[in-house]
Amino acid sequence: MRLASTPDGRVHVVHDDLLVDVTGALGLGVGPQGGLRELLSRGGGHAAHEALAALDLDSLPARSLAGTALGAPVPHPGKVVGAPVNYLDHKVEMGEQRTIAEYGVFLKAPSSVSGPDRPVRLPYRDVPVHQEGELGVVVGTTAWQVPAERALEHVFGYVPLLDVTVRSTEDRSTRKSFPTFTPTGPWVTTADEVGDPGALGLRCWVGDELRQETSTSELVYGVAQLVAYASHVMPLEPGDLIATGTPAGVGPLHDGDRVVLEIDRLGRLEVTVSGAEAVAYADRPGSR
Ligand code: MN
């Protein structure tokens, strides 16, 4: 099953070339506590799946997928967990001496999450901002101190995710937390339709340039280990997002760029880039 949200926060099942609006049938709200997060919070991923499967989609309001703007499938996650240096080729390109095994995980502001309808907004005109194409994980059921062998039971689904990053000296949480710095979409594909999350091809273009191409088999901490590890640091809750890390090929984004991230079985996330609000780094408000 594929689940998308329109920018107004309404939840839709992607059914062939239609978007079927399940918001009313499931009694979901559309604010920060609503949408897919609310559905997952009611009873976890399995209950959500059952509630969706019980709907008669043919009887619900639908519109054409083509031409409909989509927002983030989970627009207001409780948290976004990130995985630093989780592909060895990215370790090499960054000149890193360490991997996730030494760094652990980091957090991005939930307000950084956006969908295909919103351009990535560059904060600075004189500091590079890079695309990082990543497999995103949507948590379905609370995971606290789970072993790797049970970790995938807590995953509701997967989504293409960009971990947009300023290349400056600040802490990761600062460099990665600007609004629109976590584009996700176009939809969440439920785990049952994805199969092994460690066997997905990932490709990321900026304009016509194919910058990143890998398989999730190359992850240092694969999805199960990453969920298990993170769950021993903090409880993972329904609707939380996990950015699993980026392979080599990160590079600068510029005003007017179009970024495309395609992951096998999950679809194609496309976003544009805007520098219209960029300021000089030295002029960043509050820095002095
Ligand atoms: Mn990243």
How far apart are alpha carbons 225 and 124 in whole angstroms? 35
How far apart are alpha carbons 288 and 281 in whole angstroms? 12
pLDDT value for 285: 86
Arithmetic mean of pLDDT, 244-255: 98
How far apart are alpha carbons 197 and 191 in whole angstroms? 8
Q: At residue 259, does pLDDT exceed 80?
A: yes
Stated pTM of the model: 0.98
Arithmetic mean of pLDDT, 251-271: 98
Arithmetic mean of pLDDT, 88-100: 94
How far apart are alpha carbons 123 and 174 in whole angstroms? 12
Name the amino acid, one letter, at 204: C
Q: Which two tokens stand for residue 10?
A: 């309404």
Distance 20 CA to ligand 1 centre (A): 32
Distance 84 CA to ligand 1 centre (A): 6
Distance 61 CA to ligand 1 centre (A): 37
Q: Which of 181, 177, 139 is nearest to 158 (CA)?
A: 139
Contact present, 163 and 247 (Cβ < 8 Å): no
Instruction: Write out pLDDT tens, residues 129-166.
Output: 999 999 999 999 999 999 999 999 999 999 999 999 99
How far apart are alpha carbons 94 and 86 in whole angstroms? 12
**Cα Rg for the chain, rounded, in angstroms?**
18
In CATH terms, the superfamily for domain 80-283 is Fumarylacetoacetase-like, C-terminal domain (3.90.850.10)
Could you tell me the strand order of the sheet in which 155-162 lies? 62-64, 18-21, 11-15, 2-5, 188-190, 155-162, 133-139, 241-243, 80-82, 106-108
Distance 241 CA to ligand 1 centre (A): 13
Distance 167 CA to ligand 1 centre (A): 12
Instruction: Write out pLDDT tens, residues 29-54.
Output: 998 889 999 999 999 999 999 999 99
Q: At residue 7, does pLDDT exceed 90?
A: yes
Instruction: Write out pLDDT tens, residues 190-235.
Output: 999 999 999 999 999 999 999 999 999 999 999 999 999 999 999 9
Round the average pLDDT of the chain to a whole number and report it.
Answer: 97
Distance 28 CA to ligand 1 centre (A): 31
Q: CB under 8 Å to 86, separation ≥6 — which residues?
A: 99, 100, 219, 220, 221, 226, 244, 245, 246
Alpha helices by DSSP H, 54-146: 88-93, 100-103
Name the segment(s) of the chain with CATH classification 3.90.850.10.
80-283
Q: At residue 288, does pLDDT exceed 80?
A: no
pLDDT value for 159: 98
Contact present, 162 and 202 (Cβ < 8 Å): no
- Can you say how many angstroms the Cα of residue 43 is from the centroid of all Cα atoms in its chain? 22
